[in-house]
Amino acid sequence: MDRSTHKRRFILHVDMNSFYASVESMMDPTLKGKPLAIAGNPEERRGIIVTCSYEARKFGVKTTMTLWQAKRLCPSLIVRRPDFQKYRMMSNRMFQLLREYTDLVEPVSIDEGYLDVTASSMNPVELAGEIQNRIYHELGLPCSIGIAPNKFLAKMASDMKKPMGITVLRKREMSTILWPLGVGEMHGIGKATEEKLKTFSIHTIGDLAKEDAYSLKHRFGINGIKMWERANGIDDRPVNPERASEFQSVGNSTTLAEDLDHEPEIKRVFESLAESVERRMKQKKVVGQNLQIVIRYADRKTVTRSKSLENPFHDKDIILEMALNLFKKHWNGEPVRLLGITAADVIPRENAYKQMDLFTFEKEKKQADVNRLISDLQKKFGQQFIIRGKWKAGPS
């Protein structure tokens, strides 16, 4: 049976709460409970607020507000520059967790996504509670979750209780819950469309739902029909994992049985993680273009670092080498509690290509010639006659 047309679909919309600010507070516990804003050019008063913590919002600080306005409202506001490398790492880990529940996961941005859990044996509310609890305790991040029979209603539901809310929205509840809301509060309707709708005396979602669909099509084109359908709770779009290609990653992390500060033991953990990442990349038939590591210390302070590679990779030796290099460069010597490796910006293996200059081409050509020679010798004298890095004496 096609889950997308199941008469009782269960769709979750997971929306991370104040994501960038939450990540910063998780990684620096001294920021917890304080008014925090993420802003470009924090040294300049005209810098723009990208997002802010709920503590800052209580003072009236909002996204897109200038820094000077925000500081006037909240003189104690703490400002941090955005670190998208860090946010992408945590986003990858969040989506990896979601995929433990279903393959039908569709990221729609770095901090939100849909899940189709129709086939799950768990009660959808209990499942949402477990996901929310795990994201909070394992990743240290809050989220809100909407539960509904389609994507539109799930999105609207997730916005109703923040932070850390779980909301169920049924189609039969639309007339009492959604229809009284202003039309500008409907997902998918921007400020310009809102103003245009008001010129036709459409002020609430209920007004839009009761409008003639063909009149809306005449005024707004195909978008008019889509708005009318959404206002009436009609949305048959499937949760489509294929739309997630730009968010895909393959990673693994492990919480250690005891805090480690002994390099040989830490290296063995990274070796195991590198093998796991390589195995999963081969299963998915993908290669990575960016390698990321996560280090969590005994005091729960978390550090993420990454490096983009010139050539796509999937081999565990390359993964391990890069992970160890990043670790040695950024480890402060304190005991670690959790380690992780993620291959990010992955693409299908058949789509991978190498931007090779002349030197790289000659180097790889020579390596290919060596590989062919080794293969020929092994075929003639046996697999153990020659192995990489060692030479065994042949028959005398």
CATH, residue 190: 1.10.150.20
pLDDT of residue 308: 80
pLDDT at residue number 122: 94
Domain count for the chain, please give it. 4
Answer yes or no: is 150 within a domain.
yes
**Cβ 303 vs Cβ 268: under 8 Å:** no
Token pair recorded at residue 73: 């409202």
- Whether residues 146 and 61 share a domain: the answer is yes
Domain end, chosen from 138, 169, 200, is at: 169
Closest by CA position to 81, among listed 128, 132, 21: 21
Residue 91, domain extent: 1-169
Q: Report the C-alpha gap between 159 and 157 in whole angstroms.
A: 5
> Could you say which residues of the chain have pLDDT below 70?
1-7, 41-46, 243-248, 310, 348, 350-396
Residues 82 and 147 in one domain: yes
Cα distance between residue 307 and residue 291, in whole Å: 5
Given this model, what pLDDT does residue 50 score? Answer: 82
Q: Where are the alpha helices (DSSP H) in the chain?
A: 19-27, 54-57, 67-73, 84-98, 124-139, 151-158, 174-177, 191-198, 205-210, 213-220, 222-231, 263-284, 316-330, 358-381
Dist CA 23 CA 76 (whole Å):
20
Asked, for residue 393, whether it belongs to a domain, the answer is no
User: Helix, strand, or coil here: 203?
Assistant: coil
Same domain, 55 and 133: yes
* pLDDT at residue number 361: 40
DSSP state, residue 248: -
Whether 241 is covered by a domain: the verdict is: no
Query: In angstroms, rounded to a whole number, what is the distance separating the alpha carbons of residues 324 and 48?
Result: 37
Closest CA to 118 of 6, 209, 196: 6
pLDDT at 384: 56
| CB within 8 Å of 280: residues ≥ 6 apart | 250, 252
Determine, yes or no, domain membership for 396: no
Residue 231: which of 184, 289, 166, 299 has the closest Cα? 184
How far apart CA 86 and CA 196 sit, in angstroms, is 40
Please report whether residue 102 resides in a domain. yes
Residue 366: strand, helix, or coil: helix
Yes or no: say if 127 and 116 are a contact pair by the CB < 8 Å rule.
Answer: no
111 is in an annotated binding site: yes
> Under a CB-based contact definition with an 8 Å cutoff, are residues 183 and 207 in contact?
yes
Between CA 140 and CA 113 the distance in angstroms is 18
129 and 277 inside one domain: no
To which residue do tokens 């477990």 refer? 130
Residue 237 lies in a domain: no
Identify the domain boundary among 138, 154, 169: 169
Residue 28 counted as an annotated binding residue? no
What CATH number corresponds to the domain at position 307?
A: 3.30.1490.100
pLDDT for res 188: 87
Tokens of 374: 């080794």
67 and 201 belong to one structural domain: no
Distance CA(22)–CA(144), nearest Å, equals: 13
* Same domain for 53 and 30: yes
3-state secondary structure of 15: strand
Rounded to 5°, angle at Cα 11 from 216 and 154: 50
Residue 133 C-alpha from the chain's centroid? 17
Q: Are residues 9 and 123 in the same domain?
A: yes
**Of the residues 131, 149, 169, the one at which a domain ends:** 169
184 shares a domain with 165: no
Does residue 240 fall inside a structural domain? no
Q: What CA–CA distance (Å, rounded) separates 344 from 350?
A: 17
Radius of gyration (C-alpha) of the chain in whole angstroms: 26
**Spatial distance between the Cα atoms of 267 and 253, rounded to a whole number of angstroms:** 14
Same domain membership, residue 62 and residue 46: yes
Q: Do residues 57 and 103 share a domain?
A: yes
pTM (whole model) above 0.95: no
Residue 7 tokens read as 């008469």
Question: Are 5 and 153 part of one and the same domain?
Answer: yes
Residue 223: C-alpha distances to residues 18, 161, 217, 327 (Å): 30, 28, 7, 50
**292 occurs within a structural domain:** yes
Q: What is the pLDDT of residue 346?
A: 78
Provide the token pair at 145.
């979750």
Whether the CB-CB separation of 84 and 98 falls below 8 Å is answered with no
Same domain, 48 and 162: yes
Q: Which positions are annotated as active-site residues?
A: 112
Residue 256 CA to residue 5 CA, distance in Å, equals 44
CATH assignment at residue 5: 3.30.70.270
Question: DSSP of 23-46, one letter per residue?
Answer: HHHHH-GGGTTS-EEEESSTTSTT
Residue spans of beta strands (DSSP E) within 298-361: 302-313, 336-344, 347-348
